[in-house]
Amino acid sequence: ETDREMATSGTYVTEVPLKGSAEKHYKRWKSENHRFPDAIGHHIQGVTVLEGDWDSHGSIKIWNYTCDGKPEVFKERREIDDENNAVTVRGLEGHVMETLKLYDTTIQFIQKSPDDIVCKITMVWEKRTDDSPEPINYMKLVTSMVADMDNHVLKA
């Protein structure tokens, strides 16, 4: 029984290799979310600011996106860490929060060398019930968004 209880929460971590500058990538994720539907419309159909500004710490946004072929909605509060080129998205409401009581995703851009950066994605989650699914599909979605955004940041 303890095994099942341990699986009610967890942390996923992955690194996505990217090109260019960590600063540019960070800027896109921090303050240019309104460009996402144009750049990666197959993932993100719309982003709306409810409170704050596009790039403000503590701002609240609503995302319209597609996961596993289904349209979903996600409401998040944003935490900004300029020093570490990191953005943390905290789940407030929406499809994700129906099965999870905690959903925090941190996206950090780390400059490895002048041309190489990695995006470290850390997803911390806790299920509402034992039967809730693990959010591996959301981890795949975020990883795919980061990878697909690579070319758009280079073009910008």
The neighbouring-strand residues paired with 49 are 61
Angular region, 71: left φ>0, alpha ψ -120 to 50, beta rest: beta
User: CA-to-CA distance for 6 and 27, rounded, in angstroms?
Assistant: 36
Question: What confidence score (pLDDT) does residue 101 get?
Answer: 96
pLDDT at 156: 57
Counting every residue written for the chain, the total comes to 156
Distance CA(84)–CA(87), nearest Å, equals: 9
Token readout for 152 is 């758009």
Tell me the pLDDT of the chain (156 aa) as tens digits. 444 455 699 999 999 999 989 999 999 999 999 999 999 999 999 999 999 998 889 999 999 999 999 999 999 999 999 999 999 999 999 999 999 999 999 999 999 998 889 999 999 999 999 899 999 999 999 999 999 998 887 765
- Residue 67, amino acid: C
How far is Cα 152 from Cα 154, in angstroms, rounded to an integer?
5
